[in-house]
Amino acid sequence: MAINLDELRARPLDPETAEEIDRFEAAIEEYLAGDLPEDVFRVMRLNQGVYGQRQGGTNQMVRVKIPHGRVTPDQLEMLGSISELYSRGWAHLTTRQNAQFHFVELRQTPEVLRLLASVGLTSREACGDTVRNVAGCHLAGACPYEVLDITAWAQATTDLFLRNPITQRMPRKIKINFSGCATDCGQAMFNDVGVIAVARPRADGSTEAGFKIVMAGGLGANPHPALALEEFTSREELLPTIEAILRTFDHYGNRDNKLRARMKWLVDTMGIDELRERVFKERKFLRASATYPDGLPTAVLDAGDAPAGMGTQVAADGGVPVELSGLDEARRWGVANVVRGRANGTVSAYAHAKLGDITGEQFRQLADIQRDFGVEVRITNRQNFVLRGLSEDQLTDLHPRLAAADMHRPGAELARDVVSCPGADTCNLAVTQSRGLAADIDRALDEAGLAEIGGVRVNISGCTNSCGQHHIADIGFMGFERRAHGRAAPGYQMLLGGQVGQMEITFGQKATKVPAKTASEAVVRVVGRFAGEREAGETFADWLARAGGAEAVGRTLADLDEFPTPQDQPDFYVDFDETGPYVSQVGESECAT
């Protein structure tokens, strides 16, 4: 069923949304005429999810919020149409379950916002000093380990804070993530507010399901682990507690220095004990607020939050058997990309989006699959899609449909599934082409026969800000400028041993520095050693510790940290996807102004 854009353009929007977009459209014209100051317009633009690009001018990135990654067929088709009509023919999925369109002309952004609203999507507060997209475990409701299905809770949190007056001009952005169990597939442990479903015993021997809330975590140049607020928060108190955290941050966050304004810095300035007490005090008196979120939210009452059930054949985080050789393509896909819950009979399958990119045609094909198979689709935090609610007998027909869309590669969420930020392709802050390196690592692992190794994940950021989440990957890369033979060259810091799960987080440790053009070889060597040396059931972190740690493994890669002369190998001084000599160009960060 093809989407009818004319019909959707004519569809009336709710008055609040229509008025908001009209005001933004008028502000664009006022700004372009020179009648609206740059700093005022920037705030308005960012709050609409419209972000400047390194190319400058009127090129914009539009970030679409997709709460907890759940997307409908109509929304998929709309995203595909927008990618073709207003962007480059494809969109980029982010590690926070957003969809991003680049090279959108500023004057066209209001039309894009109206089309998004016509299918229930928004970019409102996807950027700026606001509550960003509320992320959640992509297997929520299908995970055999979960204590609660966090789907409705993530939606209720989205509904509460979207356009909420207290979240429009915060000291800095707030990121909220939900996980349904201690496995923490939703990655709560490095966010400003992390919510993990847990259970506690009652006096009568039964258990009560609720949440453990962690706060003040973050990555960036100075990563901080999230710290527990309290061990158990009841379902009735969840939303008031989150609001109390946000109000505390709004009161005490640094409004003078954006580089020290994230919530994690409050731990450094006042200490975690004082921060907790201020949150508890805020929550205590929140009952007096006219907007107090009392009782269970409507979204939870309507949809429920019962867990999927216990027992699993494949780990809930997507972990799979290592050995896929000797199988035909369809069977390799079935082993690598299908997650089953034994107790509740759930069947979910990953659709691979290489580098997190998806074309307009792929959006439409995925929408058709969703309708034809009657399944739910969610974006994962590793930039793929997961199809949920399948039956076993549908898998035979699903694989060729995904193959036709080129989204069938075995190993979505395995070694070949490299996560990368957009990098210097479009980002003002990036100093390296992280996407180009991601593609090269994919190629190198494939050629080495290591692309389908399980239990190892590679993440890349084009600068220190960790948008590619390099700190929490088994193998992480952070881009920076190198100098060799009097020339600038693209390079990376390699980190090893980052991980998040079981309500714990470990940040990767420095292993070695490498030129951009030898980073792929470094990955091949490390993954090859891991595959060859690990014992049965051994994790990457356990193997790394047994191998001597990041520094010891890094020493075995020292020969890769050498720059030939520009005359001998000029490609070392040209970044991936570039044609001219490397130049480190860093623009003004819109998030830090």
Q: Residue 346 — very low, low, confident or very high, per pLDDT cuts 50/70/90?
A: confident
Average pLDDT over residues 527-544: 95
Beta strands in 39-192 (DSSP E): 50-52, 59-64, 70-71, 90-93, 99-105, 135-136, 176-179
> pLDDT tens, 211-223?
999 999 999 989 9
- Which H or E element spans position 207? strand 207-215
> pLDDT at position 314, please?
38
Reply yes or no on whether the pLDDT at 311 is more than 50: no
What pLDDT score was predicted for residue 316?
Answer: 39
Q: For position 413, what pLDDT does the model report?
A: 65
- Residue 331's pLDDT is 87
Q: pLDDT grade, residue 318 (50/70/90)? A: very low
pLDDT score for 312: 35
Confidence tier at 5 by pLDDT (50, 70, 90): confident
Q: What angle do CA 556, 562, 567 make, to 5 degrees?
A: 155
How far out from the chain centre does Cα 484 lie?
Answer: 34
Q: Check pLDDT > 90 for residue 326.
A: no
Contact indicator for 514, 492 with CB cutoff of 8 Å:
yes
SS (H, E, C) 420-436: ECCHHHCCCCCCCCHHH
Q: What is the pLDDT at residue 417?
A: 87
8-state DSSP, 188 = G
Q: Are 93 and 386 in contact (CB under 8 A)?
A: no
Per-residue pLDDT averaged across 69-90, rounded?
Answer: 97
According to the model, what pLDDT value does residue 1 have?
A: 55
Examine the pLDDT at 589 and tell me if it is beyond 80: no
Residues, the chain: 593
77-81, 258-262, 450-454, 555-559: which range is least confident on average?
450-454
Helix (H, G, I), strand (E, B) or coil at 54: coil
> Per-residue pLDDT tens for 16-48?
999 999 999 999 999 999 999 999 999 999 999
The answer to whether the beta carbons of residues 236 and 296 sit under 8 Å apart is yes
Look at residue 321 and tell me whether its pLDDT is greater than 60. no
Four-residue CA torsion sign, 77, 80, 84, 85: positive
pLDDT value, residue 319 = 41
Predicted confidence band of residue 342 (pLDDT cuts 50, 70, 90): low
The model's confidence at residue 313, banded by pLDDT at 50, 70 and 90, is very low
Asked whether residue 300 carries a pLDDT value surpassing 50, the answer given is yes
Q: Of 188-202, 323-337, 542-556, which gets the smallest average pLDDT?
A: 323-337
69 φψ region: left (φ > 0), alpha (ψ -120 to 50), beta (else) = left
Put simply, whether the predicted model's pTM sits higher than 0.85 gets the answer yes
Angle value at C-alpha 148, between 145 and 154, nearest 5 degrees = 120
Could you tell me the domains of the chain? 5-118 (3.90.480.20), 147-303 (3.30.413.10), 329-404 (3.90.480.10), 419-592 (3.30.413.10)
Q: What pLDDT score does 36 carry?
A: 98
Among the ranges given (194-203, 404-413, 485-494), the one the predictor scored with the smallest mean pLDDT:
404-413
> In the structure, what pLDDT confidence band is assigned to residue 155 with cuts at 50, 70 and 90?
very high
- Structure tokens given for 244: 């109390």
Distance CA 334, CA 549 (A): 34
- Which of 375, 390, 383 lies closest to 416 in space, CA to CA? 383
